[in-house]
Amino acid sequence: MSTVKRPLDGIKVVELATFIAGPCCARYLADLGADVVKVEAPAGDPLRYTAVNEGRPFGDKEDTSFTLENTGKKTVTLNTKTPAGREALEKLIAQADVFITNWRQPALKRAALDYETLKVKYPALVMGYVSGYGEKGPDKDLPGFDFTAYFARSGVMGTLYDVDSMPMMPLAGFGDHQVGMNLASGILAALLRAKMTGQGDQVVVSLYHSGVWDVSLYLQASQYGDPLQQYPISRKLITNPLNVAHKTSDGRWLQFSMPQYDKLYNKFVGEVLQREDLVNNPKFYPQVNLQANLVEFYDIFAGEVAKHDAAYWADAMTKADLPFAVCQTWNEVMNDPQAWGSDILAKVTFPNGNERTMVRTPVLFAETELPPYERGHFLGEDTRTVLADLGYTAEQVDAMIAAGEATDVIRVGK
């Protein structure tokens, strides 16, 4: 295994963020070797209390959600509303290369933690800022979560469903993870310039903008007015029906994906469907002829797939070297040999002795070894260590804890 240093070894990151998007970004920077300190309020990141939403045990002893977004970090608990807690936060930021937050702008300005204030004191600092709707525009101060700003307002939920059905059930964290990785890419670019020139920057990534970017291929296509691009539409009217999922005889859904319709149509209907009557059929080929016969072809396609099980079609598509995938459940993904073989998944043992499957961030290196995947730290677990590194004596830390200006894991409990 490579012994090459990780790319961000020696870089200091302070995270003052909650839930998923900001912490996800900081977790990725920790994967890259950065020394990340997560600052939490005495009540802790709200993500520590979402067990019921996810059907898992409550508490730090097996907190897979918190671990997913916060592995590799130190956790310090400060009451930044007190002078002493704020002073400690300021000392952390003064030593940092990167400061990540998802506080809304009015709160940042009241706390003098906005970029315009910080850049005067720390001109080389890179600030990573997550928001619901961005820094500009009439709705810049609205609260935003991935369900609302990413999924709903961006055009994902309102268009990407069958018109005869209903909007999808969004997954918590889906949009947040897009934002986290988008933010990381911007931070890394700004950090490179800061190290070269001494000039820091603020990197802004919003849930809304990320969602619009993710649907942008069809968003721009919709402006031409073609009725078949005015989503939502019926799945039977997708302009390329070779890109639609169909149900097999054993009740599985198989996603087909052949964007080059004219190039792959004859091979698919001949070799896979074994329907010679469809080869070069002028009703369905080339694709321009198909558009007047979409529903008819859809019904033929769906009927053929329903004749056999998923294994049959997987074998036929594989032999033809055509792209497809069975729509897997999460349990299947956790047991997928490809997920394990390509280092997507890892095992983590939690303090209660349970071993759980966790997901790595989706960027791997040839010359840099993967970091160990460790549980997320308890609330305040590293408070004493982090404050000691800032020059606080044990007596000073004890006094801060006694005054409620900071907490540690001993006080909070495991």
Splitting the chain (414 residues) into consecutive groups of 10 residues, what average pLDDT does each group show?
80 98 98 98 96 90 96 98 97 98 95 97 98 94 93 94 91 95 98 98 97 95 90 94 97 97 98 98 98 98 98 98 97 96 96 96 91 95 97 97 91 42
- Residue 235's CB is within 10 A of a number of other CB atoms, namely 17
Pairwise CA distance, residues 387 & 404, whole Å: 15
Q: Are 144 and 131 a contacting pair, CB within 8 Å?
A: yes
| CATH 3.40.50.10540 is right for the domain spanning 12-214+339-412 | yes
Please report, for residues 265, 277, 293, the alpha-carbon distance to residue 282 in angstroms, rounded to integers and kept in the order given: 12, 11, 10
Total Cβ atoms within 10 A of residue 303: 10
Q: Tell me what pLDDT residue 413 has.
A: 40
Q: Domain ranges in the chain?
A: 12-214+339-412, 253-326
Our CA angle for 341, 343, 348, nearest 5°, is: 115
> What is the per-residue pLDDT for 396?
97
State the pLDDT at residue 3.
62
Q: What 3-state DSSP class applies to 348?
A: strand
Contacts of 188 (CB under 8 A, 6+ apart): none
Active site annotation includes 114: no
Taken in order 403, 404, 406, 409, is the CA torsion positive or negative? positive
Phi, psi of 355 (to 5 degrees): -100, 125
CA 81 from chain centre, in angstroms, equals 30
Task: Tell if the pTM clears 0.75, that is, is over it.
Answer: yes
> What pLDDT shows up at residue 412?
42
Which is the catalytic residue, given 31, 45, 114, 176?
176
Q: Which residues pair with 73 in a beta bridge?
A: none
Which single residue is written with the structure tokens 């900001």?
22
Please check whether residue 357 is in contact with residue 346, taking contact to mean a CB–CB distance below 8 angstroms: yes
